[in-house]
Amino acid sequence: MNGKNISWFGRVSLGLGFAFLYVPILILIVYSFNASKLVTVLAGFSTQWYSVLFNDDAVISSFGLSLKIALLSSTMSVVLGTIAGLVLARFGPFRGKGLFAGMISAPMVMPEVIVGLSMLLLFVELQQWFGFPAERGVLTIWVGHVTLCMAYVTVVIRSRLVEMDRSIEEAAMDLGVRPLKIFFLITLPIIAPAIASSFLLAFTLSIDDLVITAFLSGPGSTTLPQLIFSRVRLGLNPEINALATITVLVVATLVVGANRVMVKAEQRRTRLAVAT
Amino acid sequence: MMSRLLSLRDSREAASRGARRPTWWQLLMPSGRSLVTAIPYGWLLLFFLVPFLFVLQISFSEVEIASPPYRALLTRAEDVLNIALNIGNYSYIFGDPLYFDAYLSSLYMALVTTLICLVIGYPIAYTIARAPEAKRNTLLMLVMLPFWTSFLVRVYAWMGILDNEGLLNKACIALGLIDTPMPLMHTQLSVQIVMVYAYLPFMILPLFSNLVKLDGRLLEAAADLGCRPWETFLKVTLPLSKNGVIAGSMLVFIPAVGEFVIPELVGTPESLMIGKVLWMEFFDNNNWPMAASVTIVMLALLILPIIYQHKREEKALARAAQR
Amino acid sequence: MVESSVHPAAGTAASKPYLQIVDVVKKFGDNTVVNHINLSISKNDIFALLGSSGCGKSTLLRMLAGMETPTSGRIILDGEDITHLAPYERPINMMFQSYALFPHMTVAQNIALGLKQDGLPRKEIDERVERMLDLVQMKKYAHRKPFQLSGGQQQRVALARSLAKRPKLLLLDEPLGALDKKLRQQTQLELVNLIDQVGVTCIMVTHDQEEAMTMACRIGIMSEGQLLQIASPGELYERPNCRFTAEFIGETNMFGGHVVEDEPDYVRVQTTELPRPVRVGHGITGTLGMPVWLSVRPERVGVSRQQPTAGGNWANGTVHDIAYLGGFSIFHVRLDTGKVVKASVPATRWREEAAPTWNEPVFVSWADTDAVVLTQ
Ligand SMILES: Nc1ncnc2c1ncn2[C@@H]1O[C@H](COP(=O)(O)OP(=O)(O)OP(=O)(O)O)[C@@H](O)[C@H]1O
Ligand SMILES: [Mg+2]
């Protein structure tokens, strides 16, 4: 149904678009190998900023913290988001469903400063009333990230469930499988790819979050984005270029790899289906 | 007679047997379902909805040098409940041009960002959606790749380019376009450029998923009826992609209003955006009540677009479920 | 009188009903989708529900499977009221229109799932799966995943899966709907043979009348949530009890009119579409002057150049159109009253004389016993 080739107009807009998207990142990478301390002067190839980076204890420890929080919050948000997606896609209408759906999707568009501040005020009040949580730190950041990420997970899972053929679950019920078992035996394996990709999404959102984290973190808990932010505020910094380069390369590898796996699986499916 | 009586009893027995609400299904369903629903529901109520009540409450309170730095609304002194409602924060917001300008300039920046993203994003989304199916996936991935990399990294990347000693100025001087560096960094322009850069994927993705569903035969039919390409675009493609345009615009506009990181890193110190004002009130001035009031006013501005966007999404999902 | 079989008691009186659907109603909100349906089916019957799209066939089937709960009414299977049993508690299995095979399980695992729920020993499960695979000739494909099978193969797996638990009742929702036409005709008889071989009571849903006529021993015609007639394929065609059935099953010529003569063994119907009253060779339960419909199948209508001598059921007109279909031709004859009558005439009819051509004046006629009077 589509033309076999892209028109010249398409080529130009894609070319300009990709240039806009990628040139800044390429420049960033080039300057990370710059020998000069001045980020604006090119002065020969060097990997010194990488060694500076790897010897920077603050970076290493904040990265560790970010990783830990990202793993914890993406796990929890996948659990909660999958349940929420199931509730919205399968449980039919119930009282308060509108509010539920609204609360789920609002954190995705709402400016993060709003979410961060309101959640912080909750924790402060909770502490006044119950003495818990005693201080802001990993726990409060985790709660914030889970709330943000589960919105995205829910959207992914819910739309997967909506497009899934309901009669597959009905067939299982017809064969004598009980509802709870159907979820684990039939539904979960079928939506597993969606769960995996929503986990990845939640992970990147959490490890990248700055604003909500800033409101919810305490003195002892500085995540990597917070550290980068505090340094970048002071101006350009070649060490950050090195860090950014690594981030870009890791993410690019992961995304391209995941994409290839998905494309391969899809191809295998269609090839086999055609072959028989 | 006897047999009729018997059959009557039979059927009544059968009815009562049938009417027995069977074990699991019915038992698990009402209670099991609400139990399952209660987990995410409770989480959101506690951590998303209730906090706004506290924001509202604190927005009516006064700063105090204490921990936490605000005066409680309700105090009990000798069995008398005192409610101290302070609307000073709000009258301040509406009276002081600083705040008013900040809101205005935030809305303005968000609007311009949305429009530029639309103009840049539409041709890209359209081209990818019309591309041969084999290439579509790769192209889409390439567009979304920057979105997966860190937001901060993307903003930082522009700092090196826009710097007054930065690449763009150097290139322009080298090309002989200008003699002295232009002030690019810490201007409205720099904020605008970086905001477009950061929010572009949020425009392209909904546009793409809308345009990809567009039936190519419609375009062929329009061409067949004698429409020129641009006529086809204006009369067929654009009206049909209305939903994508609205969704993309909402996804850019709403969060852009409250953007903090970009104006903080590349913006002017004087001209403030409201996200930055909120941040400063909270972190620098330690004026929590003021920050809360700023939040409430921002929320009041954004709640309608948020609800509108949500309703549209729900409708789209309901349509998808019908099929 | 045309037999009205809508009442449950009027089903096959010979054997005791195995499945009884008693006054079942299903409403979605204000929308009544299934409207007071009564139906009895005896053991080992193959029953087909036939109706146009959206008339509530699937909904009725889903109530039998337990996927929907009736708003009112009861469903009794083999003496047990199953109206409110959960789907996984019913001795009923269903083959879904989309097949609904589990995409992440192999063919063998698909078939075994239901058996595992019954807690059968492993060995027996394996044996039964083996036997089912044998039955549908899919042994070679036991370890394939559904997406590696063709449409016809998927259909056979779905059937094997729904038969594996030896259900008391097998439900088939558009069993061949997803196959292309050629494969469908070939599979129809195959499916009937399989069902007979297993010996299971079966209700199928279809909107393809040919499929229903080929496969089922009894057919229920459904329209807008109501069962209009229940009868054998032949009876439905020859003696429809209402206008809807007559027009739904096959082609027919329909004339509207009223009764002018009502005798025990015949009636005469006056219609403005024919030059003179029509004599029909069966009595009706009705009154003089009541409005009725007259149905005459095209293959019962004769076409001739000479005025028919016997009987009074004839009219003159001109050939308006001829559709040549090889073995027979359909003549569209426009009567002087303006009505177009279709006549299906076998090719052998034109041995002695040449077939009439366009605009030639001809006579159409039929015997007393070839018309059916429909009172609803
Ligand atoms: N869950 C439901 N909620 C509301 N209306 C429904 C529901 N299921 C079915 N209907 C409505 O009931 C009517 C009958 O649906 P049903 O699926 O039984 O038709 P059908 O006879 O099987 O048609 P088809 O031949 O197209 O499959 C339709 O108008 C449909 O819109
Ligand atoms: Mg149906």
Tens place of pLDDT per residue across chain B (323 aa): 333 333 333 333 333 333 333 434 444 555 678 888 999 999 999 999 999 999 998 898 888 777 777 777 766 666 776 677 788 888 888 888 888 889 999 999 999 999 999 999 999 999 999 888 888 888 999 988 888 888 999 999 999 888 887 888 888 888 888 888 888 888 889 999 999 999 999 999 999 999 998 877 777 788 778 778 788 888 888 888 999 999 999 999 999 999 999 999 998 887 688 999 999 999 998 899 999 999 999 999 999 999 999 999 899 888 887 76
Question: Is A86 a residue whose pLDDT tops 90?
Answer: yes
- Do B291 and A117 make contact, defined as CB atoms within 8 angstroms? yes
Asked if A236 and B163 touch (Cβ cutoff 8 Å), the reply is yes
Residue of chain B nearest A179, judged by CA positions: B25
What is the number of residues in chain B? 323
* Residue C71 shares a structural domain with residue C100: yes
Q: How far is the CA of B257 from the centre of ligand 1 (A)?
A: 46
Same structural domain for residues C221 and C240?
yes
For residues C74 and C164, state if they share a domain: yes
Tell which of A163, A169, A174, A183 to mutate to test the C interface (max C CBs under 10 Å). A174
Going by C-alpha positions, the residue among B269, A143, B22 that lies closest to residue B280 is: B269
Q: C107 touching A, CB under 8 A?
A: no
Q: Which residues approach ligand 1 with their CB closer than 6 A?
A: C 28, 33, 51, 53-59, 207
Q: Per-residue pLDDT tens for A18-39?
A: 999 999 999 989 888 988 877 6
Q: Are B312 and B246 in contact (CB under 8 A)?
A: yes
Contacts B199 to A, Cβ<8 Å = none
Tokens 């005020």 locate to A121
Confidence of residue A274 (pLDDT cuts 50, 70, 90): low
* DSSP structural state of residue C11: S
Which tokens hold the place of B16?
């009562």
Quick one: C287 and C214 in the same domain? no
Chains that touch C (3 or more CB pairs under 8 A): A, B
The verdict on C163 and C298 lying in the same domain is no
| Residues 6+ away with beta carbon under 8 Å from A55 | none
pLDDT value for A19? 93
The pLDDT, as a whole number, for residue A207 is 94
Q: How far apart are CA B59 and CA A118, in angstroms?
A: 11
Shared-domain flag, residues C198 and C109: yes
Q: Contact at 8 Å (CB) between A244 and A53?
A: no
Q: How far apart are CA C228 and CA B227, in angstroms?
A: 52
pLDDT of residue A145: 97
**pLDDT value at residue C15:** 56
- C135 and C89 both lie in a single domain: yes
Q: Scanning every residue of chain B, which has its alpha carbon at the shortest distance from the alpha carbon of A110?
A: B255
Cis geometry, peptide bond prior to residue B68 (ω within 30 degrees of 0): yes
- pLDDT at residue C8, rounded to an integer: 43
- Domain span at residue C191? 19-244
Same domain for C307 and C359, yes or no, is: yes
Quick: pLDDT tens for A163-208. 888 889 999 999 999 888 999 999 999 999 899 989 999 999 999 9
DSSP conformation class of C161? H
Task: Classify each residue of C75-92 as buried b or exposed e, where b means 16 or more C-beta atoms within 10 Å of its C-beta.
Answer: bbbeeebbbbbbbbbbeb
Q: What is the pLDDT of residue C3?
A: 41
Provide the pairing of β-strand C218-223 with C267-270: unpaired
What was the pLDDT predicted at C265?
A: 79
Is the predicted pLDDT of residue A276 greater than 80, yes or no?
A: no
**Amino acid occupying residue A161:** L
The C-alpha atoms of residue B162 and residue B160 are separated, in whole angstroms, by: 6
Mean pLDDT over residues A42-61, rounded?
Answer: 88
pLDDT in tens, A105-120: 999 989 999 999 999 9
Among B54, B151, B156, select the one facing A118 at the smallest CB separation. Answer: B54
* Mean pLDDT across A228-238: 89
* Chain C residues inside the 8 Å CB shell of A274: none
| Same-domain check for residues C232 and C289 | no
The domain defined by B88-322 folds into: MetI-like fold (1.10.3720)
Inspect the interface and report whether the beta carbons of C80 and B14 lie closer than 8 Å: yes
Using 70 as the pLDDT threshold, list the residues of chain C that sit under it: 1-15
Q: Look at chain C and report how many structural domains it folds into.
A: 2
C240 plus C289 within the same structural domain:
no
Q: Is B230 on the interface with A (CB under 8 A)?
A: no
Count of C-beta atoms within a 10 Å radius of residue C68: 18
Of the listed ranges A18-27, A42-51, A93-102, B81-90, the one predicted with least confidence: B81-90
**Same structural domain for residues C338 and C280?**
yes
Strands annotated E in C29-87: 31-41, 46-51, 72-77, 80-81
**C147 with A269: Cβ contact below 8 A:** yes
Name the closest residue on chain B to residue C84, using Cα atoms. Answer: B18
Do B25 and C88 touch, CB atoms closer than 8 A?
A: yes
User: With contact defined as beta carbons under 8 Å apart, do C90 and B23 qualify?
Assistant: no
Residue C310 placed within a domain: yes
pLDDT (average), residues A206-228: 93
Residue ending a domain, choose from C181, C212, C244: C244
CATH of the domain at C345: 2.40.50.140
Distance CA A61, CA B197 (A): 30
Query: Quick one: C303 and C363 in the same domain?
Result: yes
List, in order of start, the domains of chain A with CATH numbers. Answer: 55-275 (1.10.3720.10)
C282 within domain boundaries: yes
C336 three-state secondary structure: coil
What is the model's pTM?
Answer: 0.84
Residue C178: the pLDDT is 74
Indicate which residue's Cα is closest to atom 11 of ligand 1: C33
Best of C24, C25, C26, C28 to mutate for ligand 1, by most ligand atoms within 8 A of CB? C28
B285-291: long-range contacts (C-beta < 8 A, 24 or more apart)?
Answer: B286/B63, B286/B69, B287/B63, B287/B69, B288/A121, B288/B58, B288/B63, B288/B68, B288/B69, B288/B70, B289/B58, B289/B59, B289/B60, B289/B61, B289/B62, B289/B63, B289/B70, B289/B86, B289/B89, B290/B63, B290/B89, B290/B92, B291/A117
Cβ atoms A250, A207 nearer than 8 A: no
* Interatomic CA distance for residues B219 and B241, integer angstroms: 13
Residues of chain C contacting B18 with CB distance shorter than 8 Å? 74, 81-85
Q: How far is CA C294 from CA B31, B85, B120, in A?
A: 58, 85, 69
Q: Where are the domains of chain B?
A: 34-86, 88-322
Q: Kindly report the three-state secondary structure assignment for every residue of chain B.
A: CHHHHHHHHHHHHHHHHHHCCCHHHHHHHHHHHHHHHHHHHHHHHHHHHHHHHHHHHHHCCCECCCCCCECCCEEEECCEEEECCCCHHHHHHHHCHHHHHHHHHHHHHHHHHHHHHHHHHHHHHHHHHHCCHHHHHHHHHHHHHHHHCCHHHHHHHHHHHHCCCCHHHHHHHHCCCCCCCCCCCCCHHHHHHHHHHHHHHHHHHHHHHHHCCCCHHHHHHHHHCCCCHHHHHHHHHHHHCHHHHHHHHHHHHHHHHCCCHHHHHHCCCCCCCHHHHHHHHHHHCCCHHHHHHHHHHHHHHHHHHHHHHHHHHHHHHHHHHHC
Q: Work out the minimum CA distance from C72 to partner chain B, whole angstroms.
A: 12
A92 backbone φψ class: left, alpha, beta (φ>0; ψ -120 to 50): left
Chain B: residue nearest A8 by CA? Answer: B127
Q: Which residues of A touch B48 (CB under 8 A)?
A: 103, 106-107, 115, 119, 147
Asked if B261 contacts A112 with a C-beta cutoff of 8 angstroms, the reply is no
Provide, as residue numbers in chain B, all residues whose Cβ is less than 8 Å from the Cβ of A17.
Answer: 120, 123-124, 143
Q: Which of C200, C224, C244 is the last residue of a domain?
A: C244
According to DSSP, the β-strands at C201-206 and C169-173 are parallel
CB A273 to CB C96 under 8 A? no
Q: How far apart are CA C52 and CA C206, in angstroms?
A: 9
Nearest CA to ligand 1 atom 12: C33
